[in-house]
Amino acid sequence: RITSHNPRTGEQVGEVVIARPEDVRDAVAAARKAAVEWAALGPEGRKPHLKAFKGAIVANLDHIVEVVQSETGKHNDDVYLGDISPAVSLIDYYIRKGAKLLAPQRRGTWPFPWKKAWVERHPRGVAGVISPWNYPFGIPIEAAITALVAGNTVVVKPSDVTPLSGQLIADLAEEAGLPEGVVQVVHGRVEAGEALIDSADIVHFTGSPWTAKSIAKRAAETLTPVILELGGKDAMVVLDDANLDRAAKGAVWGSLFNAGQTCVSVERIYADEAIYDKFLAKVEKEMDKVNAGAGDGSDIGAIIGPSQLDVIERHLSDAVAKGARIVTGGLPGEGPGQFFEPTLVVNVDHTMDLMTEETFGPVMAVMKVRNEQEALELANDSRYGLHGSVWSRDKDRRRRFASAMRTGTVAANDVMINYAIPSLPFGGIGESGYGSNFGPEGLDAFTYPKAITDGRVTTPREAWWFPRVGGRRVWRTLVRAIARK
């Protein structure tokens, strides 16, 4: 069995049965059987089920918050903002737009004007969703929603750190009356994940690049497509004409939300030297307003476990050893659970792990830069490429800078907002992964295109069929005509 513990208190909150590899394969077989009828319903036929699923989520908000909090130690607001609200927005978006997004698309047929052509999107079959602990309800249910809308059935393997939050998905699907086998949850560790990769028709994984590489390698054995949503080292760039009050507030929230355990959190900040001191003073003032600690009044939730606390402490120790200065915080928080003080670090550079590796904690690292060009070069100096933000009062300037950032998503004068907008694709480049969730692109990722041609008129034969006619001169004339089109 897998036991789950509350990082705020260390107390056990529940346990689940580990699925054997054969149990996982049985779940996939049941999902594959259900996939035939689920796909046959079509987008409009699936819509009532999706509405019922959304209704079940909304009807159980308090229970969802309670379970997720008990396993993660999150602040109440962080559960609503990070786990629940994006999921409800996404399913609502697809209920309204899904049928149109999945509708067949007419295509031109030149140089064969007597033909018709269109492209259909078809589900891949069974989607295996392997999800992380930082948003243990939101991330897997969002992937499941996208897969379901596209006509797939789903088998979810939640993180073994937060199994109860993942189990909610199966419970809600059952409450909503979804057909048997359409949504299932299996629990386990490496063996269960491997069995799911081996048997699913498409795999959606959210987690570390290191695990993703193993998954991609294993999936390649069966040529199973994978969608990889991985880590980030997201840069916030504050230009010399930025609204510093707003930027400081955004920096603090973007760094500390969910105790910094978010793949799109602000992990590194570059501030122009012309406004660096003023910006830093405003950041310190905003950090003073944040209530930290283990009590009910704290704004900052718990750190998920000792291993994550170790990463935070190692990154800070490395930075200090190389010349960084901790302005505030820098120590584990008080209390029986696992907490870390909101921390502000300056005098940082790219020789430090704090500026190059994913820290995943409530830490702000601020670096002074000479100008906009240096800020862009440093922001793009990362093997990750998930999210970033740029802050400027000049609309053209900030949009030009956003376009030049090497990331899958960028927010101008804001942080992390993209994830909350369901029409936008979410995904990265480099070691932040590939493939997308959300928006039309999410449905594209969970389907395959089928190109179909038909004739506008029926003729006895096509001109190029046997026996050959026309010869080289005819074909040369035809190719030149095509080239002039």
Choosing from 263, 286, 358, 372, the catalytic residue is 263
Query: What radius of gyration do the chain's Cα atoms show?
Result: 25
Helices assigned H by DSSP within 348-438: 353-356, 372-379, 395-404
Listed in sequence order, the residues at least 6 apart from 15 whose beta carbon sits closer than 8 Å to its beta carbon are 1, 2, 3, 4
| Residue 66 designated active-site | no
Choosing from 229, 357, 372, 431, the catalytic residue is 229
Quick one: CA torsion of 190, 193, 194, 199, rounded to 10 degrees? Answer: 160
Q: How far is CA 398 from CA 8, 113, 238, 270, in A?
A: 40, 45, 10, 14
Helix (H), strand (E) at residue 115:
strand 115-123
Backbone angles phi, psi at 437, to 5 degrees: -120, 165
Helix (H), strand (E) at residue 201:
none
Helix (H), strand (E) at residue 227:
strand 226-229
**Eight-state DSSP code of residue 303:** -
Neighbours of 296 (CB within 10 A): 8
Neighbours of 454 (CB within 10 A): 10
- Bond from prior residue into 111 cis (ω within 30 degrees of 0): yes
| Residue 221 designated active-site | no
Active-site residue set: 229, 263
